Amino acid sequence: MLKIAFRKEAMGRTQTYEWWKRFKEGRTSVDDVPRSGRPSTSKTDDNVAKVHEVIRSNRRLTVRKVAEEVSVSKTVCHEILTENLGMHRVVAKFVPRLLTDDQKQNRVDVIQELLD
């Protein structure tokens, strides 16, 4: 039995007939057919390392400034920061989403000093 997950957007009559024709011809998936294309040349390991180095040297840089220094687009720079490096902006700095065990222990030590 064929199960189809419908999207919330409405489809026009022409598109509906096109999909009906495809399923009638034997198609069983609603996913897009893989197609060849030009691979991304911006999100390379080298660029990820460059972005990481720039952010580590100055966490207060904007995405635009980092993108200019690394010579990639703003969108690609933002994707590298969020997806590859797991960072997000807090106030005016980029910080890792999760603290390491050393960072957690450092925070506990500082708080203990302040309380004493």
Query: Is residue 75 a part of any domain in this protein?
Result: yes
* DSSP code for 80: I
pLDDT score recorded for residue 65: 92
Provide the number of structural domains found in the chain.
1
Query: Is residue 88 a part of any domain in this protein?
Result: yes
Where in the sequence is the domain holding 59, given as residue range(s)?
A: 45-101
Q: How far apart are CA 69 and CA 64, in angstroms?
A: 9
Can you give the pTM of this predicted structure? 0.49
The enclosing H or E element of 102 equals helix 101-115
7 phi, psi to nearest 5 deg: -85, 165
With a pLDDT cut of 70, the percent of the chain lying above it is 83
Query: Is residue 32 a part of any domain in this protein?
Result: no
Q: Which residue has the tokens 């207060």?
A: 60
Query: Is residue 59 a part of any domain in this protein?
Result: yes
CATH number at residue 52: 1.10.10
pLDDT score recorded for residue 1: 47
